A = this chain, B = another copy of it.
Amino acid sequence: MRTLIAELKATDGGKRKVSVCGWVHRIRDLGKVCFVLLRDRTGQVQLVLDRKPEFSVESVLRVTGSVAANAKAPGGLEIQVRELEVLSAAAPDLPLPVNQDPARLSLEAVLDHRMISLRNPKILSVFRLQSAILKFFAAHMRNEGFTEVKTSKLIGTGTEGGTGLFAVEYFDTQVYLAQSPQFYKQAMIASGLERVFEIGAAYRAEKHETPRHLNEYVSLDVEMAFIESEQELMDLEVRILKSIFAGLAAENRAELEVWEADVPAPDDVERIPRLSHEEAREIAAARAGRRVYEINPEAERLLCEWAREEHGIDAVFVTAFPRKKRPFYTHPLENRYTRSFDLLFRGLEITTGGQRINDYAMLLESASRFGLEADSLRDYLDIFKYGCPPHGGFAIGLERLTQKILGLDNVKEASLFPRDRRRIRP
């Protein structure tokens, strides 16, 4: 019967024989005695061997022995090994070290050898935290009466003009990978579910090579009916973020500590300011010392800096984007602007959203203004032709949220198997 390393603390030290399994994290061979640090999914424990180890790091062992207290051992316990079985021997030529601070490794090396670098406990902790984000997000949505949906990622035509799409050979025709579940989320609003969320892959065929872009990412999508304005959507996002942050603070201290990271307090999240696009440009310009025409990455950083100083929270909602900067389905505001918003968090846009046009005639007019053919949008337009309540929604980028919570330099560090222009493996 296997005992997990984290459970060892509960056993009465020194007497009871226990069996543990895990990976060899480190070997310190002192000749007469050999210390092996063993790693399982719950922690690490020191093994004491009275002989030379016949295995190298990363080998998988099952050992049986007695647990004893040792103040010098990591965690204060050690196992005097009686029986040892090598379940899987690791080759000695590891392509990169697993038991060192990953800051010493280049991102290229970490991603090239992803199958191995994920074994590093600090790197792996990113994805333990990410799993928790998924849990707290879904739990919050369900608590507010949202239904989880799974929509197709293979679409006949682009949703937003056809640029930036990956083409897929689909039997005798061609389809595209969806940039977002936008049209489907809206269909599900109109279906009568009223409140839906989706956790799914999104694809952008954009040739950027920046620390903030991925060509494939996980989108946390939300859509809600019967809203009065986009303000309710920002209110909802505030509640979601509060839930996620509170959950992480309660259950994921270990991962946050490894990265010396922290999540905003609930009260601070409540204080996230809401600036119009014009106000945001002015504030960014004042800090940059020159004109700012759009909220580019530099402006995102400056605005979050401003919010931290003025409001005590490193985040800003930018609202009322000009109409030409948002997709055709975005609800207009005073003709020139839109009922849209972005959320900038710790210097990075992590959410785009807004109220959508739900009036059929207005949508036809907007599509035409954007040069889109109604025929190519027929399925989508039917949603509105046959009755659709006022609604809106947004999407949070999972990897960007993870990145910014942990303070990672590059969003690719927050993707298990990131895809960029050149990276299609492992």
Tell me the A residues contacting B by CB distance below 8 Å: 2, 21, 23-24, 39-41, 58-60, 87-91, 94-95, 113-116, 118-119, 121, 124, 127-128, 130-131, 134-135, 138, 142, 145, 147-156, 166-171, 173, 175, 177, 184, 187-188, 190-195, 199-201, 205, 207, 216, 218, 226, 358-360, 379-380, 382-390, 398, 415-419, 421, 424-426
**Most chain B Cβ neighbours within 10 Å, of A59, A127, A207, A424:** A424
List, in ascending order, chain B residues with CB within 8 A of A147's CB.
Answer: 127-128, 131
List, in ascending order, chain B residues with CB within 8 A of A88's CB.
Answer: 358-360, 384, 387-390
CA distance A88 to B385 in the complex (A): 9
CA distance A59 to B21 in the complex (A): 62
CA distance A360 to B127 in the complex (A): 26
List, in ascending order, chain B residues with CB within 8 A of A142's CB.
Answer: 135
Query: Other CB < 8 Å A-B pairs besides A88-B358, A170-B424, 13 of them?
Result: A58-B386, A59-B387, A87-B390, A88-B384, A115-B380, A131-B149, A150-B218, A150-B398, A153-B201, A156-B424, A156-B425, A166-B169, A201-B201
List, in ascending order, chain B residues with CB within 8 A of A153's CB.
Answer: 153, 201, 216
Contact check, B398 vs A192: say whether CB atoms are below 8 A apart: no
CA distance A402 to B190 in the complex (A): 22
List, in ascending order, chain B residues with CB within 8 A of A390's CB.
Answer: 87-88
Known: A135-B142, A207-B171, A379-B426. A58 touches B387 (CB 8 A): yes
Contact check, B173 vs A23: say whether CB atoms are below 8 A apart: no
Known: A2-B226, A148-B135, A150-B416. A21 touches B192 (CB 8 A): no
**Most chain B Cβ neighbours within 10 Å, of A88, A95, A135, A195:** A88
CA distance A29 to B190 in the complex (A): 25
A147 to chain B: closest residue by CB:
B131
List, in ascending order, chain B residues with CB within 8 A of A59's CB.
Answer: 387
- Shortest CB-to-CB span from A300 to chain B, Å, is 25
A-B contact pairs, 18 of them (CB 8 A): A40-B194, A41-B145, A58-B387, A59-B387, A88-B384, A115-B190, A115-B379, A116-B386, A118-B187, A119-B190, A121-B192, A131-B149, A135-B148, A153-B153, A155-B425, A156-B424, A171-B421, A199-B199
List, in ascending order, chain B residues with CB within 8 A of A154's CB.
Answer: 216, 419, 424
- Shortest CB-to-CB span from A206 to chain B, Å, is 10
Contact check, B90 vs A385: say whether CB atoms are below 8 A apart: yes
List, in ascending order, chain B residues with CB within 8 A of A115's CB.
Answer: 187, 190, 379-380, 382-383
Known: A150-B398, A151-B416. A425 touches B379 (CB 8 A): yes
List, in ascending order, chain B residues with CB within 8 A of A167's CB.
Answer: 168-169
Task: Kindly list the 3 A-B residue pairs having the minimum CB-CB distance in the complex, ordered from nearest.
Answer: A379-B426, A90-B387, A118-B191
CA distance A166 to B166 in the complex (A): 12
List, in ascending order, chain B residues with CB within 8 A of A417's CB.
Answer: 151-152, 184
- Shortest CB-to-CB span from A267 to chain B, Å, is 26
CA distance A218 to B168 in the complex (A): 18
CA distance A15 to B130 in the complex (A): 50
**Most chain B Cβ neighbours within 10 Å, of A59, A128, A145, A387:** A387
List, in ascending order, chain B residues with CB within 8 A of A156's CB.
Answer: 424-425
A200 to chain B: closest residue by CB:
B201
